[in-house]
Amino acid sequence: MEFVELLFKDRGYSYQNASNKEMFNLGIFLSTDVGCGGRTFFRDWALSDENAWAVGGDATTLEKEGDYIYLTDQHSQEKVPTELKIGIQQFVKLLNDWQEKVCKTKPKEVIIKYENDEFIIETKD
């Protein structure tokens, strides 16, 4: 099982721990680039055929190729940055779950697990 843990501090979430670099990238993307401001930019971009094939946030870069999105750390020190490959529909579901399960309830701890080709958000107060 792969995972990333985020903790609520002050007014937002910060990275705590991850099982690997791919999940680290996901945690940084959600906590830094998506946040809980109610923005739908990344979801709209993923679903649109008209937008650019790549976008970037403060910490990550996303590239769209076919039915997949590739998420990388913009500040990686690796020669070939580690990518998280995620299906577009799975990406949209994850963003929706993030808004519903995390942003609306503001739990103290968030654990995102990746098992059986599915992302599952668990929260703890």
Q: Give the strands of the sheet with 83-87, arranged side by side.
A: 54-56, 60-65, 68-73, 83-87
- pLDDT given for residue 52 in this prediction: 67
Structure tokens at 111: 């654990």
Is 13's pLDDT higher than 80? yes
- pLDDT given for residue 122 in this prediction: 97
Determine the residue type at 30. L
Structure tokens at 21: 């670099």
Structure tokens at 97: 């779950």
- pLDDT given for residue 79 in this prediction: 87
pLDDT tens digits, 82-107: 999 999 999 999 999 999 999 999 99
Q: Please give the full DSSP string across 6-59, using - where no structure is assigned.
A: EEEETTEEEEEEESSHHHHHHHHIIIIIITTS---HHHHHHH-SSS-SEEE-SS
- Is there a contact between 46 and 68 (Cβ–Cβ < 8 Å)? no
Q: What residues pair up with 73 in beta bridges, in sequence order? A: 60
pLDDT tens digits, 40-77: 899 999 998 865 688 888 899 999 999 999 999 988 88
Domain boundaries, the chain: 2-124
Q: Output the pTM of the full model.
A: 0.92
